[in-house]
Structure 1
Amino acid sequence: MTYSSKEEAGRDLLRHVDPKHVEDRMYDIIHIEPSVTESLLETVDVPLKVGTDEFGIRYIQCDYNRDGDSFRSPKTNKYYPPLKDGLQLPENLREMEIMANKGFSTYLRHYFDRGTCSVYCWEVDDAAFGVGVFILKDNDDVKFGSDINGSISCTDVCEVRLIDEAKQLFQYTLVSSTIVDISWKCPSFGAPEAPVSMNGSMNDQHVKTARAQSNIEHLVTIGEMVESSSDRFVEKIRQIYVSKMEEILSYMKSNPNGISADALAVHAKAFQNP
């Protein structure tokens, strides 16, 4: 396979890496070829990370709440580790951020039951601002006699740009991504020390125009777009990843005398690349 650029080659390589190892492999590539640093950091999705504030409350750590080596909590509006003169939001965006975190906490309970959700706002330029919704669902649980471990990282970043001041008309550009990394032990399908894994990533973009005269109206529009994107991702996961895993496990179960690694690889390959 030939690539038009080193950046394209790097992204294609990382597309085949287990999500939990993507960040390490990305920095390996950057170490080998520093010229691709900016491109990979901007375009490659990695699983979300969490930090805790002084009260032990978890919050998402990402580029949108980072200043140097410190990260700002949306709850306390402080940086951890403490940072003197850290970047702060204009009052209007901070008010929107507080409102958004309260609203999306309900969304978290409805769609994920539990997890960590943080919403951040930031300035883009005089005519635009950004809102990012970040959710990490830790899936550590024991069900049906199988040990389930892993996580689901959901990132929704929306740029809101004023396109007609007289009509208060805005363009909302939402870029969404989901990273699934789940493994579980199924003694019925081989050795307990060899867990079954399901992992991968998906991304999507959606653009919408709407009128808004207040923070609430902005958040309603963004919330509707995020919810719609989440529904699409759930359906994709169900159709692509879950259905493929069911096919493979069903094939293994139908071979009570065992299945060779080569035979399983051939069967799994038949269900790759939807």
Structure 2
Amino acid sequence: MAADPFDSALDLLRRLNPKHTAEHLNNLISLAPDLTEDLLSSVDQPLTVRRCKQTGRDYLLCDYNRDGDSYRSPWSNQFDPPLADEGGAGGVGSGGSNEGAGEGAVPGERVRKMEVKANEAFDVYRDLYYEGGVSSVYFWNLDDGFAGVVLLKKSSPQSGSGGSSQGVWDSIHVFEASERGRTSNYRLTSTVILSLATKGATLGDVDLSGNMTRQVEQDLPVDSDENHIANIGRLVEDMELKMRNLLQEVYFGKAKDVVGDLRSIGSLSDGQRDREAQREIIGSMRR
């Protein structure tokens, strides 16, 4: 049985360097144009920054605020470049259908107000946790509530006399909020894309790149729309802390163990003496 082209494309992307996901994705799209929309909506790639022409503030681009080659700014609620047929409230265009995220959609009045407050809240969150970078939040309407995505990006290029180093952190948090009276069910899918590179005469070229995805679902009380912002903020904050600890303790810890097995920090003779002393102590305890 022939393999499904979409599954094969995803399988190939998982085996390629995640640092160059955008380049690999463009190559796959050029080879299989009919998979364009499916790949763009399914593959998380490093975020791109654009400047809002109306407000002069930076915002992040993703598939959820895209319509063709145009992207909606969360600060002005306008697409750049402008669309020929702008979507109406809730994404209702001239055809009368609600497109949800992307496709010229803009959130309804209530959801747009929450989107504005969420952008203000996560701008403070970004400043506190990242001390720089760019954040963007996009909401859209659902039949039983609303959904959205929280985007965070921080790049840290550094150069010195001995070489250069660069790090990039991209967070993509997609959620759905299903309203059930005085409670709401939140389903959050979070992806972190991390890239670290250094180049110098001592270490040579070192490149560590990867991504991690985690999911969580939780019911939380809601008395007002402000509670939605607080609940989403708490879920994103907890998830980012957990994923950062996992990256630091598991992945970088494992890399440190591998490097330690390849080359000892101390001399081999010192290590041999320590092992012999350990065997003598264990042997004396068994007598």
Give the TM-score of the pair, scaled to structure 1: 0.80
Q: What's the secondary structure of 1:185's corresponding residue?
A: strand
Q: Give the deviation of 1:249 after TM superposition.
A: 4.9
Deviation at 1:49, TM superposition (A): 0.8
> Do structure 1's residue 181 and structure 2's residue 195 form an aligned pair?
yes
CA distance in 2, matches of 1:147, 1:96: 41
Aligned to 2:134: 116
**Cα gap change, 1:28/1:84 in structure 2, threshold over 3 Å: closer, same or farther?**
closer
Who is 2:270 aligned against? Answer: none
Separation of aligned partners in 1, 2:14 and 2:227 = 37
Task: Classify the secondary structure of the residue corresponding to 1:7.
Answer: helix
- Asked if the contact 1:198/1:241 (under 8 Å) is kept, the reply is no
Q: Find the counterpart in structure 2 of residue 103 from structure 1.
A: 121
Query: Residues 124-143 of structure 1: matches in 2 within 5 Å?
Result: 124=142, 126-142=143-159
| Matching of residue 59 in structure 1 with residue 25 in structure 2 | no
**Is the 1:198–1:245 contact (alpha carbons within 8 Å) kept by the matching residues of 2?**
no
- Match of 2:169, as an amino acid? I
3-state DSSP of counterpart to 2:202: helix
Give the length in aligned residue pairs: 247
* Structure 2 residue 177 is the aligned partner of structure 1 residue 160: yes
Counterpart residue number, 2:280: none
CA distance in 1, matches of 2:6, 2:200: 39
Residue of structure 1 equivalent to 2:9? 10
CA distance change for structure 1 residues 206 and 33 in 2, over 3 Å: closer, same or farther?
A: same
Q: What CA distance in whole angstroms lies between the structure 1 residues aligned with 2:111 and 2:161? A: 45
2:172 aligns to what SS in structure 1? strand
Give the aligned partner of residue 73 of structure 2. Answer: 73
Could you tell me whether the CA contact under 8 Å between 1:3 and 1:9 is conserved in 2?
no
Tell me the CA shift for residue 41 of structure 1: 2.5
CA drift of 1:143 comes to: 6.7
Query: Which aligned pairs between 1:209-220 and structure 2 lie closer than 5 A?
Result: 209-220=219-230
- State the AA in 1 paired with 2:199: K
Counterpart-to-counterpart distance in 2, 1:120 and 1:227: 17
After superposing the two structures, state which structure 1 stretch, 40-49 or 22-31, moved more: 22-31
Contact 2:41 2:63 in 1 (8 A): no
**For 1:135-191, what per-residue CA distance to the aligned partner results, in whole angstroms no more than 9, with x for missing partners?**
1111212479542224111000111112x3xx332211101101111211132123x
User: Any idea what SS the aligned residue of 1:140 has?
Assistant: strand
Call closer, same or farther: CA 1:65–1:42 in 2, change over 3 Å: closer
> Which residue number corresponds to residue 241 of structure 2?
231
1:90 positional shift: 1.4
Quick one: structure 1 residues 69 and 7, their matched pair in 2 at CA, closer, same or farther if it must change by over 3 Å?
closer
Structure with greater Cα Rg: 2
Report percent identity of matched pairs. 32
Q: Which runs of 5+ in 1 are unaligned?
A: 257-274
CA positional deviation for 1:16: 2.2
- Determine the C-alpha separation between the residues in 1 that align with 2:114 and 2:262: 51
Q: Distance in 2 between matches of 1:180 and 1:171?
A: 29
The CA distance in 2 between the partners of 1:175 and 1:186, in whole Å, is 37
Residue 109 of structure 1 aligns to a residue whose secondary structure is: helix
Secondary structure at the aligned position of 2:196 is classed as strand
Q: 1:56: Cα distance to partner?
A: 3.4
**Cα shift at 1:81:** 2.1
Q: Which residue of structure 2 aligns with residue 24 of structure 1?
A: 23
State the TM-score, normalized to the length of structure 2.
0.77
Alpha-carbon displacement from aligned partner over 1:44-72 (angstroms, at most 9, x marks no partner): 11111111012532100112222332212
Aligned mates of 2:2, 2:168 — CA distance in 1: 32
**8 A contact 2:162–2:201 mirrored in 1:** no
Describe the shift of the 1:68–1:4 C-alpha distance in structure 2 as closer, same or farther (beyond 3 A). Answer: closer
